[in-house]
Amino acid sequence: MAKIDDFETKIRSKMNKTIRAVTRNVMNDLAQAGPVWTGEFRDSWVATSMGTGGTGTGGSYPYQLKDIPELPITKRETSRKTKITISNLADHAAIAMDLKESEYEYPGQEPEGDIILRGTRQSGIRGDIGPKEKDGGDNRATAPLDWFPTYIKGGKFQKAISRGIKLDLPEED
Amino acid sequence: MNYQKIRAKVENPLLTAFGALDPAVPIYFDNITATPNDSTTEYVRVNVTFGLTNDPTLTSSVDHARGAIVIRVFTAKGAGPARNQTLITTAVDVLETLNDSNKGTTGTYFKVGSIEGPSFSSDENSPLFMGRIETSYVATVLS
């Protein structure tokens, strides 16, 4: 009987490790897909265990497994449907994710990330930059408009999940 | 990859629907310079994005794509959400109609996922009130 318990614990432990690895992959994907001006938004992704409320070491890009909180391996906790959430703690996260409008000022330094859009701002949405108009502003963006829903809905999120599972499952003790 | 055919599948009916309103509501797509910079009159902004795409090796005549559609509706600020919601309804009706088509042997087969939103926001410095919906799509171009 003890052996079955040990086996179940081992399975649950392995499952948790897989979830943490997938979470790390997704956080790194989000950091790569999103805008990077000072790097604050890129480095503010955090994973939170729904079972303990723990957030690991926090960390910054590139995120590592130690940045992801350990998950409880009790039967009750491992049967929890949502085990972990990923969020961004930057004050301007909603603006960076193109969910809210804002006003923009040149911060006096060029972005850390590559500029992929440059031209005249069309609205208060971060990535809504069109071709440069005469007398229009010289605005820049380091991620395309709606990069976040594109990642979540365009298949890359699902791919990150399957990648994590494929990487972890073949491991043998 | 037939990006244009996929884009047209969603952009054309939206253009038609908002153009048929009385008065017609301007609708803008990617890389259109006419989007009013800091406009104070209502308009719609549509963004069709591409995620994973692939060209299956078994046949060269089929293309698949997945992505997101984000529709933002900008209407008068301080006038309540009704007008914004009315225009969002127009957009939602178009998206739902896209799911009515059956898969044939030619053309573009297009399906959208569940529609999220609307969510509303208004920045104190922005001249207009914004409503936003988003959905996923899968498209297959059969030729």
In chain A, whose CA is at the least distance from the CA of B121? Answer: A100
Tokens of A10: 């081992």
B27, B74, B123, best to mutate vs chain A, most A CBs in 10 Å: B123
Residue type, B60: S
A134 C-beta neighbours (distance < 10 Å), count: 5
A134 contacts in chain B (CB < 8 Å): none
Residue A43: strand, helix, or coil: helix
| pLDDT over 60 (residue A173) | no
Quote the CA–CA distance of A130 and A139 in Å, as a whole number: 9
| pLDDT over 70 (residue B57) | no
Give the pLDDT band of residue A166 (cuts 50, 70, 90).
low
CB contact under 8 A, A149 and B126: no
pLDDT at A157: 95
Tokens of A55: 């957030």
pLDDT at A167: 53
A102 C-beta neighbours (distance < 10 Å), count: 15
In chain A, whose CA is at the least distance from the CA of B138? Answer: A154
Quote the CA–CA distance of A96 and A41 in Å, as a whole number: 7
Q: Please give the mean pLDDT across all residues of chain A.
A: 88
Cis? peptide before A149, omega within 30° of 0: no
Give the residue-averaged pLDDT of A44-54.
90
pLDDT at A94: 96
State the total domains in chain B: 1
Cβ contacts of A103 within 8 Å, gap of 6 or more: A124, B123, B125
| pLDDT over 60 (residue A3) | yes
Cβ contacts of A5 within 8 Å, gap of 6 or more: none
Query: Tokens 């069109």 label which residue?
Result: A130
| pLDDT over 80 (residue A83) | yes
In chain B, whose CA is at the least distance from the CA of A145? Answer: B47
- The whole-model pTM stands at 0.89
In chain B, whose CA is at the least distance from the CA of A137? Answer: B37
Asked if residue B136 lies in contact with residue B116, where contact means CB atoms within 8 angstroms, the answer is no
pLDDT at B130: 95
Tokens of B77: 């600020």
Give the pLDDT band of residue A1 (cuts 50, 70, 90).
low
Instruction: Give the ipTM.
Output: 0.89
CB contact under 8 A, B135 and A144: no
A98 contacts in chain B (CB < 8 Å): 70
Facing A154 at nearest CB: one of B33, B67, B132: B67
| CA neighbours closer than 13 Å in the CB half-sphere of residue A173 | 5
Q: What is the pLDDT of residues B65-89, one digit of tens each?
A: 999 999 999 999 999 999 999 999 9
| pLDDT over 80 (residue B133) | yes
Give the pLDDT band of residue B62 (cuts 50, 70, 90).
low
Of the listed ranges A120-124, B102-106, B130-134, the one predicted with least confidence: B102-106
For B52, the domain range is 3-142
Crossing angle of helices A2-33 and A156-168, rounded to 10° = 140
How close A132 comes to chain B (CA, Å)? Answer: 8
Q: What is the pLDDT of residues B28-55, one digit of tens each?
A: 998 765 556 667 789 999 999 999 887 5
| pLDDT over 80 (residue A30) | yes
B139 contacts in chain A (CB < 8 Å): none
Tokens of B120: 């509303």
Residue B7: strand, helix, or coil: helix
Give the residue-averaged pLDDT of A38-47.
96
| pLDDT over 70 (residue A103) | yes
Residue A11: strand, helix, or coil: helix
Check which CATH number belongs to the domain holding B123 and give it: 3.30.2000.20
How close A11 comes to chain B (CA, Å)? Answer: 32
Q: What is the pLDDT of residues B3-27, one digit of tens each?
A: 888 999 999 999 999 999 999 999 9
Tokens of B38: 């800091």
Letter string b/e over residues A107-129, b meaning 16 or more CB atoms within 10 A of that residue's CB: eeeeeebeeebebbbbbbbbbbb
pLDDT at B128: 92
Query: Tokens 């790097």 label which residue?
Result: A39
Phi, psi for A128 (deg, rounded to 5): -85, 75
| pLDDT over 90 (residue A46) | yes
Q: What is the pLDDT of residues A63-77, one digit of tens each?
A: 999 999 998 888 777
Facing B68 at nearest CB: one of A99, A124, A154: A154
Residue A56 gets which letter from DSSP? T
Phi, psi for A85 (deg, rounded to 5): -125, 150
